[in-house]
Structure 1
Amino acid sequence: MAFPRWAIPMAALLTASGVVLTACGEERPGLQLNTGSGAQQSPPADPSADPSADPAEAVPPATLSAAKVRIGRVVTDQEGRTLYRFDKDTAKPPASTCTEKDCAEAWPPVMTGQGQVNVRGVDQNLVGKVRRPDGQWQVTLGGWPLYRFAQDKQPGDVKGQGKSGTWYAAAPDGKKAAEPQQQEEPQQEQGGDDRWAGWTVLKVRKDPRLGTIVTDGKGRVMYRFDKDRPKTTNCYGDCKKAWPVVQFTNWKKLKVEGIDRDLVDFIERKDDGTCQVTIDGWPMYYYAEDEQPGDAKGQGAQNVWWVVSPQGDKITAGSGGGGYGY
């Protein structure tokens, strides 16, 4: 018997399928989620092996989770990979138009078993599924079929965002996630010359002593701290007074020049909740003793503080060895 291509709301499947639905609070960017099942996505079952078998029975349950990435809040799978929707699909009724081999290889559909979809931070009432031509069930959100992008290699990658003007990361409400290029351009403030007020700006400049280093829009030099770890700060109290954090505003008011935007992110500090800029995971700081744009008096302080390259690497040239180390 052939199955029609229509969506089944997940709420209607709870009793029959025994699906387990969970929820959690705020997720970290690119966090790999542990579903507790340890299940991995399986290849489609071979219908020729048993014509009476339902191919969906061979597919483990999918997991949808809300997470923060560089473009904002998106939906990810059980491995933390960003999920996408396709403008050429339809949500009413739910239907996938990405069924040809080349499309499905570039944009693997998110499959699930017999109604078993776990959710974390996603409204279960928005979750459904649609039958694909091969007999398997593809997960939908807000009616839109969901996909991965084959070129996303790490949790939190969003390389598929805006591809061909038709592929977009899915937000937890099923709508398109914010587009990285949708941002205002900074305007000259009346009565002043600070056109970057309210913005987070990362630029590069050539320093005759240090080479190519990172500064903000005013030319203030940025540093990283050897006692930090990627995505983790260890500079609090008096340390933070001597080394003020580079604050992150929001994605729409982020201006990056000469730095790969994919390397830029932020962390939320535990002490005061401030969002701190990171480059390649490393938290960024200023040095309180730098008085003029281009000053780098903190370079090499106590052999743990360093100016940074556009890749987020520390630059050890021109080390002075002074300043506050902590």
Structure 2
Amino acid sequence: MHIPRWAIPAAAALTATGVLVTACGQQQDTGRQTNTSAGLKQDPAAPRQDAGSEPVAATTALEVASVGKLGKVVTDGEGRTLYRFDKDTARPSASSCEDACAKAWPPVMVGKAEPKVDGVDQNLVGKVRRPDGQWQVTLGGWPLYRYAKDASPGDVKGQGVNGTWFAAAPNGKKAAAKKAEQQNEGGGEQRQGGERQQGGEQDGEQGGNGGWAGWTTIKVRRDPRLGMIVTDGKGRTMYRFDKDRPRVSNCFGDCRAKWPIVRFNGFKKLKVEGVDRSLVSFIERKDGKPGECQLLINGWPMYYFAKDAEAGDTKGQAVQNVWWVVSPQGKKITTAPGGQGGGDGYGGY
């Protein structure tokens, strides 16, 4: 039975392995699921891989994400896009992707436990036995696969490959690019889109990680005055606050309105580039909705500045000498950029 994430209590369990489940519904354990593969026929799109790879059965999760021009597509629990193959059949369900094909397009396997679903109709989810006896997940009867060249969550490099591979839509049909803009080699990442604003804060679309609703994206860019600083997926600068303490935020009310928090949406919905992933963690806010979490880098809570109107703005730097941009190591950078920051009338915040 699928348990909604909102139903998980604030500290549901501390297991023997030391994995803590919080109200954010996230495990503070960044272990990643092993991709699986199986089977025997060559597909022309197959990239070369280690022939010694062994198929491993694993339970997966089926979730839904929005990808720019493709719209809603099905992903696994790590945000990797799932695909269907035109040479397979749905009635009856059967896979024709084996051997080198299955190494290029690892089948989504399932063990004894049924796949967990979020945003996908459970009635459309099934499984089919592969030639090696392992079970592969199906959606609308179509076997599902990952693409080996998709290196990061949000990648859709498999879209349109050889005119036979397509991202799976939540109803099991092919996800098709709007205006028929599919490209033979997948159209790159096709990650576009905006962000929602609510009360001065992003409503769960961290920095516009290319339209991936509910994802937290951390990147690094070089500022001409400040050096390498941490931003979100759209280049919005992140800040830390001297009145905070490690793992403790002291910015509430009017302060929070002027310095919106960077929301953390779980390790399974996290993309990090340029920052050591081990430095990333979170705290649950006491002043927000149940389960609302704030991103931490090296233990320090992360914020945006409401007056930063465009990507690349660093107007919050050195405000009241307590707000600072952040280095990739999570340390504050105390250089005040010319013409920005300082006394901006933000009342001590």
TM-score (norm 2): 0.46
Bigger radius of gyration, 1 or 2? 1
TM-score (norm 1): 0.49
